[in-house]
Amino acid sequence: MINEKRILKQNKYEYKSGAVVYWMQRDQRAFDNWALIFARQLALENDVPLFVVFNLVPDFLEATIRQYGFMLRGLKETEAILAENNIPFHLVEGDPTENIPNFVNEINAGVLVSDFNPLKIVRIWKKDVLEKISIPYYTVDAHNVVPAWVVSQKTEFAAYTIRPKINKLLPEFLDDFPEDISVPKHNLDFPEFDLDDVKSRLKINFEVTESDFFKPGTKAGAITLKNFIRTKLNDYNEKRNDPNETAISGLSPYYHFGQIAPQRAALEVKNSGKDDKSVDAYLEELIVRRELSDNFCLYNKNYDSFEGFHDWARATLNEHREDKREYIYTLEEFEKSNTHDPLWNAAQSEVVKTGKMHGYMRMYWAKKILEWTPSPEDALKIGIYLNDKYQLDGRDPNGYVGVAWSIGGVHDRAWTERPVYGKIRYMNYNGAKRKFDVQGYIDKIDRL
């Protein structure tokens, strides 16, 4: 049922007896979730209960109520879908390195399963949990179509190096999910979590408001996917770089919180019968680029710092450290859309207002931060800070890599040398003007 290569056993313990616990972390959905599918399989084979536990941390990498609200409302829906299938869901609050081992002990669990996440903080949590438990512990990659450790065992240089590896493995891994997630009813249950209560205990910024533009949850994600395929996918190849056109999917928040599976989207897009070039272009973004981001974060612990850039990029940025910057802005000026460039300001306003910046503008936006700050380190810090604060899909491997691509040439190549950027690819206002109606975009954001 599940390809065993999706599963990594993390310790030497063998299963004896007791319930199966799935620590849901990155993939916060009931359906199309290989980690849950595997946990359920273990529960059915051994005729024991299956539990899903989610650990809510009161502050996670400076996330605000915008992201927490989206996540928690999605989890409410997941809780209900799991309940319909007799799977108890338990939300615990605080430190996962205490809570998960405690939960495992309280219910006398016999095995722990979790999904896969390449981010440093989550890997530290998991390592600590691993040290505290003495039952088998499995990680299942429920996020990537091809499991990150299967596609490659090292940092890939660029899309062209990982693409053939992924494509070779797709026939094996782009398989459909089993539909039935139900288990027989067991006695133990947990009270549903109270959304408002839980929110009131978060230690986060409540000023960055929740987005009116994106409705959270698996159902909303599925509708977004359906609409994208029906009305936008045909134009994706031609129009995805035009921020005035809505040819993009708008699915990244749902992928980030695992509310829908990239693999579900890949299957639907592949079988859509839409324009071949557009299907290929979307699958390139959805699979090759996303999985390249996971690869980068998995094998490069400096994925969010200057030290993580390629040698050529660090060398060229170092050579241009002293170049005169025509403009220099503070974090506050950037944050308040207070630069001289109306296009940049519009991009920043777009993400502040909606929770998502258009993909093309993300590149322009980050590159200008490099141009208008005293050093690449400052640029990276500001880029990641603003990305994580306002984007619904902040603090995602895709986000770190997006900023690092723009500022540090990660997965890119050297271009013609110029001030400040060195050989990092340059983008400018006139280039944008040649590609799309810049004033139209500025006006559109103004009206939001």
E strands in 253-385: none
Stretch that binds ligand FO1, among 12-20, 52-60, 367-375, 407-415 (CB under 6 A): 52-60
Q: CB 425 → ligand FO1: shortest distance, Å?
A: 25
Q: How many residues would you count in the chain?
A: 448
**Nearest approach, Cβ of 121 to ligand FO1 (angstroms)?**
9
Among 19, 25, 34, 441, binds ligand FO1 (CB under 6 A): 25
Residue 396 near ligand FO1 by CB under 6 A: yes
The residues, ordered by sequence, that sit 6+ positions from 386 with a Cβ below 8 Å of its Cβ are: 331, 334, 335, 348, 351
CB of 426 to ligand FO1, least distance (A): 29
Q: Sign (positive/negative) of CA torsion 341, 342, 343, 346?
A: positive
Among 90, 395, 411, 423, which residue interacts with ligand FO1 (rule: CB under 6 A)?
Answer: 395
Cα maximum dimension of the chain: 69
**Binder of ligand FO1 out of 60, 415, 426, 429 (CB under 6 A):** 60
> CB under 8 Å to 23, separation ≥6 — which residues?
53, 54, 55, 96, 100, 112, 113, 114, 115, 129
Stretch touching ligand FO1 by CB under 6 A, among 63-71, 206-214, 282-290, 434-442: 63-71
**Residue 289 in contact with ligand FO1, rule: CB under 6 A:** no
Q: Is the separation of the CB atoms in 119 and 25 below 8 Å?
A: no
Question: Which of 88, 136, 394, 408 is close enough to bind ligand FO1 by CB under 6 A?
Answer: 394
DSSP secondary structure string, 396-408? SHHHHHHHHHHHH
| Residue 138 found at the interface with ligand FO1 (CB under 6 A) | no
Q: How far is the CB of 52 from ligand FO1 (least distance, A)?
A: 12
Tokens 């240089």 correspond to what residue? 157
Q: State in angstroms the smallest separation of the CB of 193 from ligand FO1.
A: 12
Cβ 381 to ligand FO1 shortest distance, Å: 18
Q: Which is nearer to ligand FO1, 119 or 233 (CB)?
A: 119
* Residues 410/310, Cβ–Cβ less than 8 Å: yes
Q: Which stretch binds ligand FO1 (CB under 6 A): 66-74, 236-244, 272-280, 337-345?
A: 66-74
CA distance 239 to 272: 18
DSSP 64: B
Residue 71 interacting with ligand FO1 (CB under 6 A): yes
Please answer whether residues 111 and 23 qualify as being in contact, where contact means their C-beta atoms are separated by less than 8 angstroms. Answer: no
- Return the structure tokens found at 117: 């996440």
Give yes or no for residue 56 binding ligand FO1 (CB under 6 A): yes
Contact segment (CB under 6 A) with ligand FO1 among 50-58, 134-142, 263-271, 412-420 equals 50-58
Q: Choose the binding region for ligand FO1 from 191-199, 214-222, 338-346, 392-400 (rule: CB under 6 A).
A: 392-400
In the region spanning residues 183 to 242, those forming contacts with ligand FO1, defined by CB under 6 A, are none
- Determine, following the binding rule CB under 6 A, whether residue 356 of this chain makes contact with ligand FO1: no
111, containing H or E segment:
strand 111-115
> Would you say 193 or 372 has its CB closer to ligand FO1?
193
Interface with ligand FO1 (CB under 6 A), residue from 33, 67, 259, 295: 67
Q: Which is nearer to ligand FO1, 122 or 410 (CB)?
A: 122
Helix ranges, 271-341 (H): 276-283, 290-299, 311-319, 331-335
Tell me the closest approach of the beta carbon of residue 56 to ligand FO1, in angstroms: 4
Q: What is the CA radius of gyration of the chain?
A: 22
Q: What pairs with residue 66 in β-bridges? A: none
Q: How far apart are CA 94 and CA 98, in angstroms?
A: 8
Q: Does 295 bind ligand FO1 (CB under 6 A)?
A: no
**Neighbouring residues of 431: CB distance < 8 A, sequence distance ≥ 6:** none
Number of residues that bind ligand FO1 (CB under 6 A): 17
Q: How far is the CB of 433 from ligand FO1 (least distance, A)?
A: 34
Cα distances from 47 to residues 1, 23, 85, 132, 186, in angstroms, run: 18, 19, 16, 26, 10
Residues near ligand FO1 (CB under 6 A): 25-26, 55-57, 60, 63, 67-68, 71, 117, 119, 256-257, 394-396
